[in-house]
Structure 1
Amino acid sequence: MPTEGIYANVDGLAQFTRALARAGADGTKQEVKEANWAVADKLTQAAKEKAGGLSRQQRSASQSLRATKTQNYAAVRMGSARKPYTLGAEFGSKKLTRNGVIARGFRPWRGNQFDGWEGGAGYFLHPAIREKGPALLREYMDHIDRLMSEAFPE
């Protein structure tokens, strides 16, 4: 299970879900989809908890975090039209000007590149990924292994 950036790519997951479809295991396909979403949702909740101890702006921005799901992947999305400052709240700012005045409220820049599990980007989402990510991946893979053994007993 190699990781690229902050994404965990589960090798063979797409082929597994296609095999489930061919085997008529629609219930198991739904369980895979739910397992995908559960990981993203747990990560979202962890990020919101982490933001709870930060500034009012960061707590507000974290409320735009939401887990989304498809058959083959889940994602955490952030930001909205009502909270356009979410990326600034997560990553900070080098300099933000409005009409020539330096805008206040953002913390210092912390980058926006995930540098592995020991990296330092972000204030609430990325730290939650670093803290909870490895355990969530293990939990997810245990769930997928169980589903595979149920769907394809030897």
Structure 2
Amino acid sequence: MPTEGIYGNVEGLAQFTRALSRAGAGGMREEVKQANFDVADKLTAAAKSKAAGLSRQQRSAAESLRATKTQNYSAIRMGSARKPYALGAEFGAKRRTRKGNVARGFRPWRGNQFDGWDGGPGYFLHPSIREKGPQLIQEYMDKIDRLMSEAFPE
């Protein structure tokens, strides 16, 4: 399961959930869906916790984090009509004011193009993914392995 950034792809997961349907294991499909959601939910909680120690803007933006789920993947959504600044709070800003300060109260840019900064992107969500991701991926794969052995015993 290669991971790149915040995207992890479990090769064969879609085929596995289809096989569960054909085998009449609808309850197992729900367990896979829940396992997907659990990863996103735990990352959301970790990011909110990390943001608690940051600026008021970042804490507020982190409140808009929410985990979502479908049969084959889970996602973390950020921002809303009331918090359109959420991505700026996570990644900062490049633009500077006339006085040289970063625009609109955002922290310095930590996005996808670094200017000498080597800590990785983001202030709260992406650092949480880097910190918690490997452990959560292992937990997820253990659960998928268990479900596969229950659904298709040898």
TM-score normalised over the length of structure 1: 0.90
Secondary structure, aligned partner of 1:79: coil
Q: Which residue of 2 aligns with 1:57?
A: 57
Percent identity between matched residues is 80
How has the CA–CA distance of structure 1 residues 96 and 27 changed in structure 2, closer, same or farther, with 3 Å as cutoff? Answer: farther
AA paired with 1:40?
A
Question: How many pairs does the alignment contain?
Answer: 147
Whichever residue aligns with residue 146 of structure 1, its letter is R
Distance in 2 between residues matched to 1:112 and 1:150, nearest whole Å:
41
Displacement of 1:128 after TM fit?
0.2
Task: Please state how far the C-alpha of 1:5 moved relative to its aligned partner.
Answer: 2.9
Q: Which amino acid aligns with 2:151?
A: A
CA contact (8 A) 2:93 2:103 kept: no
Q: Secondary structure at the match of 2:67?
A: strand
| Structure 1: gaps spanning 5 or more residues | none
Query: Stretches of 4+ moved more than 3 A in 1?
Result: none
Task: Give the counterpart letter for 1:87 in structure 2.
Answer: L
Ranges in structure 2 where 5+ consecutive residues have no aligned partner:
none
Query: Who is 1:88 aligned against?
Result: 88
Q: Provide the residue aligned with 2:5 in structure 1.
A: 5
Match of 1:22 in 2: 22
Tell me, what secondary structure is at the counterpart of 2:71? coil
State the alpha-carbon separation in 2 of the partners of residues 66 and 109 from structure 1. Answer: 23
CA positional deviation for 1:95: 1.3
| Structure 2 residue identity aligned to 1:127 | P
